[in-house]
Amino acid sequence: MSDGLENVVAAQTVLSEVDGAAGRLILRGHALEDIAGHTDFAQAVRLMFDGFFPDLPSDADLAAALGLARVEVFGEVAALDKTLVSRSPTEALRALMARLADGDDLATALRLLAAPAVFTPAIVRAQRGLAPLAPDAALPHAQDILRMMSGKTTGTKQAAALDAYLVTVCDHGLNASTFAARVVASTRAGLTSAVLAGLSALKGPLHGGAPGPVIDMLDEIGDAAHAKAWLEAALERGDRLMGFGHRIYRVRDPRADALKRAIRKLDATAGRLAYAEAVEAAALAILRERKPNRSLQTNVEFYTALLLEALAFPPDTFTCVFAMGRTIGWLAHAREQIAGGKLVRPQSIYIGPMPKQAA
């Protein structure tokens, strides 16, 4: 038996490969660094969905269909009541997404891609006492997300940075949320059910819930000169340093550098980036010293936090923004599982008491 299914192969996929020893991520035949920063959201959807939906349109038509899907799901925002607004954004997002009908077709998939993009800005605005802004179907996906958040037309630099982020996180092998999505898809429950399983798994702090706490850590440390003492005290308490360590990567997560490149292209991030790099260096030195037998490196969540902060997403919505990108992977994996896979049904070893034998 393998604890946490470590090293267990549970699927064959054409979607992505994570090479943890080389620090390399391949998405459908492309190295991450060749597509992140060069591909927008709709192009990434086209790349990942190719062969999984018979009626997949061309890039331009897909961008237009995504725009219409954003408009279509906007009606669900009316269900955002006081109770949901008082919950965490991820829980509110999950509740709104659960309102979408199940199905296996491209129209269902497009609604699921549109949902976190439309619902997250609406949740943020509702928490601030502001009315939601309707999507603009004519805008590119990333630009429309930023406009629905801020109410202003955002610059192309910001939209390009958000595209770089969403493409960087769109898929990553058989991570916990993708595995959860594939298990549900294998029962033929439908794409909405599979995506909700993925979102529920992503929510945890050991997976997609880490970047918010990264900002808390940076804010609490406050000054690079205090980093060593703060980080040592955290490890003394038995805390994990958020944004470090990975099940597969034993070298640096290539997504961290893809995101750092995207942050550098934004104005006015230089000071914050330099500070974060100093904290990162201190954390890596302490982790090397304290855990010499385990190579703990910076993971995707550390620079996710800085990029999404620079784009003015509140830290408690970072997991929702992660879901905007990762939904591409959940959907493609769900379709791949349905096309070729059996029902996922592993076994367990019973270690409880046996029934008493009759005398």
Residue 310 makes CB contacts below 8 A (sequence gap 6+) with 161, 263, 266, 269, 272
Q: How far is the CB of 25 from ligand ACO (least distance, A)?
A: 12
Token pair recorded at residue 247? 């099940």
Nearest residue to ligand ACO by CB is 245
Helices and strands per DSSP (H, E), number in the chain:
16, 3
In this complex, which beta carbon is closest to ligand ACO, that of residue 52 or of residue 302? 302
Q: How far is the CB of 244 from ligand ACO (least distance, A)?
A: 4
Three-state SS at 229:
helix
Q: How far is the CB of 162 from ligand ACO (least distance, A)?
A: 17
Q: Residue count at the site for ligand ACO (CB under 6 A)?
A: 19
Q: CA dihedral in degrees (164, 166, 168, 171; nearest 10)?
A: -160
**Counting contacts by CB under 6 A, is residue 158 touching ligand ACO?**
no
Work out which of 173, 243, 314, 329 binds ligand ACO, going by CB under 6 A.
243
Map residues 281-320 to x or -, x wherever contact with ligand ACO holds by CB under 6 A. ----------x--x-x--xxx-------------------
Contact window for ligand ACO (CB under 6 A) among 65-73, 97-105, 234-242, 309-317? 234-242
**Counting contacts by CB under 6 A, is residue 246 touching ligand ACO?**
yes
Work out which of 141, 207, 260, 335 binds ligand ACO, going by CB under 6 A.
207
Distance CA 329, CA 317 (A): 20
Element of type H or E holding 325: helix 318-340
Residue 197 makes CB contacts below 8 A (sequence gap 6+) with 177, 180, 181, 183, 184
| 72 noted as active-site residue | no
Provide the terminal-to-terminal Cα distance of the chain, rounded to the nearest Å.
Answer: 35
Distance CA 19, CA 308 (A): 26
Cα-only R_g, the chain: 21
Question: Among candidates 91, 83, 293, 109, which has minimal Cα distance to 192?
Answer: 109
**Counting contacts by CB under 6 A, is residue 210 touching ligand ACO?**
yes
Q: How far is the CB of 225 from ligand ACO (least distance, A)?
A: 21
Work out which of 206, 233, 270, 281 binds ligand ACO, going by CB under 6 A.
206
| 246 noted as active-site residue | yes
Contact window for ligand ACO (CB under 6 A) among 37-45, 139-147, 152-160, 205-213? 205-213
Catalytic residues: 246, 301
**Residue ranges that bind ligand ACO, judged by CB under 6 A:** 4, 206-208, 210, 240-247, 291, 294, 296, 299-301
